[in-house]
Structure 1
Amino acid sequence: MKIVVFGGTGFVGLNLAEVLLARGHDVTLYDRAELPPSARRSLADYGARLKAVQGDITDADAIDALIAGGCDAIVLGAAITAGDELERASTARVLEINVMAQIPILLSAIRHRVRRVVNLSSASAYGAAGARVEILDEETPCDPVSFYAISKFTSERSVARHAELFGGDFLSVRLTAVFGPWERPGSVRDTPSLQYQILAAFARGEPAIMPEPGMRDWTYAPDAAEAVAILVEAERPRHRLYNISNGGVWPALQWGEAFAALHPGLECRLAAPGEKTAIKLHGPARAALAVNRMADEFGWRARFGCAESAAAMSAWLAQHKEWI
């Protein structure tokens, strides 16, 4: 398939590119940011099957020309992943990029008969509901609170409504607590995972001091990318919304301890009473996402748990020493 990934040079986009290319597809990454040199080197063996196009997600003419050139599937991954600080500074921009910029892409996909569109949404769409239930499945009523959560929930509804009106084969996925290779904070992402912050502390030669254990259904990025790839390829998905999650809850502290155990001299621990820490939590704890739909329909389950992802990330960093 010929697949265009919008937001393709970002964190999830690069993980998805690796998986799609490995599965034999041609991939075009459309993003305002250029393909990082380390990613270009890592993906060089795929040759002409990988293209990177620099452009703005609001440039409807450029995007229409790209899709008109031939495209079997689109992944909507361009987004501003905003915490409170970025929301205060760029409220309108969050809604513009996360919702409004998708509409010309969807209409172009309809005009040019793109077979499949997958919208990358977020578990944040559940909002306050995440504190009221023990497990979040796709039927759980949402109660989004932050502008980021509101934007992701709205993007799902917009994608679904376009499909209803125009007959497009569109679906959304809710990604939760993703961490791993190619993650980096930046001007459109100010909520780095606890795992990234742990690794950044190690890179500074400091102990990773945690304000609390950091319980989440942490999901290793290659696992999430594999699930999205399955949905891109699926002939006739039964649903229009899927959770993507590790399916179980475990503490980031345990992950940091597992990583440190592989590298003598590193330390990850809880802060002592009154001790300051540079590591920040982003958002309240929430229930784990149910993954029954992905498991029952496609046989997909995350392969990397806490220890496995720590070992895999250690191996990845050995090949990408400059990344953090």
Structure 2
Amino acid sequence: MMRILVTGAAGFIASHLCEKLKSLGHDVYGIDNFNDYYDVKLKELNASDLAQQGIVIFRKDLNDDLGDVFATAYDYVFHLAAQPGISSDTTLEEYVNNNIYATQNLLEAILKYNPDVKSFVNIATSSVYGIEATVDETEPAKPVSFYGVTKLAGEQLALGLQRTGKLNTCSVRLYSVYGPRERPEKLYTKLIENLYYDKPFPLFEGSVKHERSFTYVGDIVEGLAAIIGKEAKVNGEIINLGTDEVNTTQEGIHAVEVIMNKQLIIDNKPPRKGDQQRTAAVIDKAKNLLGYEPKTTLKQGIQKQVDWYLEKFTK
């Protein structure tokens, strides 16, 4: 049994990771600041699910003093907490505070209190690649959004410590993750909600043609959990984690319409600055290093997300 800390634990992907690690018999702790980027009630719902499984969550910001969090020594730290998205309502200062300063403060706390951690697993994003994320990990990053730029900076803060021999670290770049608990402003949760309530869906010009490696959250957490025990093999590595199945946004919309047996009302909007045109995950390294093999089709994953939404929010 390993003792593991997961940051952003009340959020979408991290809450699933906590559950996965707990199911494998590990002792899991979480930390989350429960900020109001989206409805805090959703995070409280996730936190309640985790608490019922015996997962302890520290309610504090990563920019605060973390001495109490590290009163426990951890074998692994999975860093998923971040300022997400490309919303024009989010300032550069918020991205810098939550993606750079918070990461640095966490790393400093680990070096001070928990320097023997087996691995610090930084969770990055395909957004660091830029307009098109269709390349392997050897290609240079070319981010175009505040989100992508600051996530790349956080990744390099962690890898810099690895290069100087101070910390075992790897960084995992995720691709278009969806599934139960997905944030309310993200594509599929918003599609499901707007279809259910017959509300117009804001569709940015050109976005129906965007191509994405839509990856089911269950496959993502399987890949992350596979790092445990392979820390020597992945130390210093950047690893893409997604699916090599590519679908257009239009295909995603159609899949939800078919499952819910309803037609979406479209509210056309101007193009959104910073949107990626195409993502296609190159996951050869993840397959080789982690034995990673995504198995969930888009139809299967959306069905699970629709079932979750109807159970949690319509009864």
TM-score (norm. length: structure 1): 0.83
Question: 1:203 pairs with 193, 196, 213, which one?
Answer: 196
Q: Please state how far the C-alpha of 1:120 moved relative to its aligned partner.
A: 0.8
1:101 is paired with a residue whose SS is: helix
Match of 2:137 in 1: 138
Match of 2:32 in 1: 31
Instruction: Confirm or deny: 8 A CA contact 1:198 1:279 kept in the other structure.
Output: no
- Does 1:79 pair with 2:82? yes
Q: 1 CA distance for matches of 2:46 and 2:147? A: 28
Q: Indicate the RMSD between aligned Cα atoms, in angstroms.
A: 2.6
Match of 1:263 in 2: 260
Residues 135-166 of structure 1, C-alpha deviations (whole Å, 9 max, x = no match): 31100111122221111111111111112224
Match of 1:234 in 2: 230
TM-score (norm. length: structure 2): 0.85
Residues 73-97 of structure 1, C-alpha deviations (whole Å, 9 max, x = no match): 111111111425134xx21221122
Q: Please state how far the C-alpha of 1:262 moved relative to its aligned partner.
A: 3.0
- Does 1:54 pair with 2:59? yes
Match of 1:288 in 2: 280
Instruction: Confirm or deny: 8 A CA contact 1:207 1:267 kept in the other structure.
Output: no
Match of 2:221 in 1: 225
- Worse overlay, 119-128 or 77-86: 77-86
Match of 1:179 in 2: 178
The 3 A distance-change label for structure 1 pair 23 and 235 is: same
2:122 is paired with a residue whose SS is: strand
Match of 1:193 in 2: 186
Instruction: Confirm or deny: 8 A CA contact 2:32 2:81 kept in the other structure.
Output: yes
Q: Please state how far the C-alpha of 1:236 moved relative to its aligned partner.
A: 2.1
Match of 2:37 in 1: none
Match of 1:188 in 2: none
Residue 254 of structure 1 aligns to which amino acid in structure 2? Answer: E
Q: Please state how far the C-alpha of 1:121 moved relative to its aligned partner.
A: 0.7
The 3 A distance-change label for structure 1 pair 148 and 242 is: same
Unaligned runs of 5+ in 2: 35-39
Residue 51 of structure 1 aligns to which amino acid in structure 2? Answer: V
Residue 57 of structure 1 aligns to which amino acid in structure 2? Answer: L
Q: Please state how far the C-alpha of 1:30 moved relative to its aligned partner.
A: 0.6
Q: Please state how far the C-alpha of 1:299 moved relative to its aligned partner.
A: 1.8
Match of 2:95 in 1: 94
Match of 1:16 in 2: 17
Superposed, 1:238-257 pairs within 5 Å as 238=234, 240-257=237-254
Aligned residues: 301
1:118 is paired with a residue whose SS is: strand
- Worse overlay, 163-172 or 35-44: 35-44
The 3 A distance-change label for structure 1 pair 287 and 213 is: closer
- Worse overlay, 200-209 or 159-168: 200-209
Q: Please state how far the C-alpha of 1:45 moved relative to its aligned partner.
A: 4.7
- Does 1:299 pair with 2:282? no
The 3 A distance-change label for structure 1 pair 149 and 72 is: same
Q: 2 CA distance for matches of 1:221 and 1:106? A: 26
Residue 39 of structure 1 aligns to which amino acid in structure 2? Answer: N
Residue 102 of structure 2 aligns to which amino acid in structure 1? Answer: A
Instruction: Confirm or deny: 8 A CA contact 1:210 1:268 kept in the other structure.
Output: no
Q: Please state how far the C-alpha of 1:247 moved relative to its aligned partner.
A: 1.5
The 3 A distance-change label for structure 1 pair 202 and 151 is: same
User: Between the two proteins, what is the percent identity of the paired residues?
Assistant: 24
1:64 is paired with a residue whose SS is: coil
Q: 1 CA distance for matches of 2:89 and 2:21? A: 31
